[in-house]
Amino acid sequence: MKKSDKHQKILNAAIKVFGQKGFFNARISDIAKEADVADGTIYLYFNNKYDILLTLFEEEIGKLIVEIKAAISQKTDQREMLYVFALHHLRLVIEKKELAEVLQMELRQSGESIKEYRLNKFADYVNIISEIIHTGQENNIFRRDLQAGIIKRAFFGALDEMSRLWILNPNHTYTLEESAEEISDIFLNGIVAD
Amino acid sequence: MKKSDKHQKILNAAIKVFGQKGFFNARISDIAKEADVADGTIYLYFNNKYDILLTLFEEEIGKLIVEIKAAISQKTDQREMLYVFALHHLRLVIEKKELAEVLQMELRQSGESIKEYRLNKFADYVNIISEIIHTGQENNIFRRDLQAGIIKRAFFGALDEMSRLWILNPNHTYTLEESAEEISDIFLNGIVAD
DNA sequence: TATAAATGAATGACAATTCATTCATTTATA
DNA sequence: TATAAATGAATGAATTGTCATTCATTTATA
């Protein structure tokens, strides 16, 4: 087994364990067991428990950014892009449930390095929205009397709250598609210039 | 000093300490110090560390519900009610910054009892929104082709994400009023029937 | 004085981290 | 080619530090 394989194997185990028990309740031995590896092996690949979490943010969010950008680049109309973002984001939450749980829970923690993540890496993800908004405003598709920064947060927050519902209550009351459609609808009819 | 005074004193200290360090990084001795009380005294008023957190949810969210309901009851138009909710919610986040941080962080944690709180007590708070939406739909003020449950979550999520910005980055880029106004504006022009 | 409330040092459980040891694989030597 | 030496990844038991919780003692109150 190659070194990189074991690195990813441990990360995948960590996503699962952190997702189920939360960072603080997760034991290194849980992750080791899940990864089918000795406790000590983890320290050959990561500096400490917290480093696993940060690496997880770094690498996994990076993958999400690549994926969602690819999906959006299929569209040229900013209204459609917003819908595609919503659809894709919610789909990711369902497909990568455990990762979504980790991000939901742990990105809210206090602690300076986490805050920096919110301000850096994670911001990159959310800023995909503000780029769409900004371009849409330049093209006069979206109202210019609203601040892109506020729209961005409102839109992402709306999606994030739907995700939370699914994570906490797995019997989905609303389907992926209707959620993405209705949220986009609410926002578009709010931000599209008459 | 009356018993109830010390109960609240410890709770206030816990809000501060949990808000700053998060539940898991907070030590009982931190709370005791902040409350100007001996470590052991805390166990005369609470069963354990976790009980402090649950009591905090129960009692403090209860107060918020009372406050915000009072503010909303001043209005009769559901559009205005929604704006008042936004304004009041964001004002609370600024005035009770530490409590807001605790709720942001800890309501996202996994663990069954926390989840039940999200599904019960906290839901009462958010459901103030769905009541407004529902009444507004009955009065034909709001579109009926959108599901109240989705609007509720989208609206709350939008506010919650703005709160997060303020909590993480205290140099407010947007004012309280403009945030409440723009978010209400986005939503109203999305959900008000033409 | 008797009872209740408060104290804070001591306890013990729990996990993160360390590190001496093992062992499969690779490289050097004859 | 066969044998020996070196490597370093992997192991998991032992170490260590960290608190939550307890409880014998002290202090306040009625």
Contact at 8 Å (CB) between A179 and B150?
Answer: yes
Q: What are the pLDDT digits (tens) for A21-61?
A: 899 999 999 999 999 998 989 999 999 999 999 999 889 99
Give all domains of chain A, ordered by start, each with its CATH number: 1-46 (1.10.10.60), 56-191 (1.10.357.10)
Predicted local confidence at residue B112, as pLDDT = 62
Chain B residues whose beta carbon lies within 8 Å of the beta carbon of residue A137:
none
Q: What are the pLDDT digits (tens) for B172-188?
A: 899 999 999 999 999 99
Check if residue B39 sits with its Cβ under 7 angstroms from strand C: yes
Predicted local confidence at residue A120, as pLDDT = 77
Cβ-based neighbours of A157, under 8 Å, separated by 6 or more: B157, B158, B159, B160, B161, B162, B164
How far apart (Å, rounded) are the C-alpha atoms in residues A9 and B96?
42
Contact at 8 Å (CB) between A54 and A64?
Answer: no
List the single residue in B110, B150, B189 with the smallest CB-CB distance to A101.
B110
Share of chain B above pLDDT 70, in %: 90
Report the complex ipTM. 0.89
Instruction: Return phi, psi of residue B114, to 5°.
Output: -65, -45
Question: Chain A, 33-52: which CBs lie within 7 Å of strand C?
Answer: 39-40, 43, 48-50
Predicted local confidence at residue A58, as pLDDT = 87
Q: What are the pLDDT digits (tens) for B137-161?
A: 999 999 999 999 999 999 999 999 9
Is residue A117 very low, low, confident or very high in pLDDT (cuts 50, 70, 90)? low
Share of chain A above pLDDT 90, in %: 72
Is residue A105 very low, low, confident or very high in pLDDT (cuts 50, 70, 90)? confident
List the single residue in A153, A173, A186 with the smallest CB-CB distance to B151.
A186
Interface-testing mutation among B186, B187, B192, B194, with chain A (most A C-beta atoms within 10 A): B186
> How many Å apart are A27 CA and C13 C1'?
15
Q: What are the pLDDT digits (tens) for A121-145?
A: 888 999 999 999 999 999 999 999 9
CA distance A1 to chain B (A): 34
Q: Kindly give the parts of chain B with pLDDT less than 50.
A: 1-4, 193
Q: Residue A129 region, left (φ>0) first, then alpha (ψ -120 to 50), else beta?
A: alpha
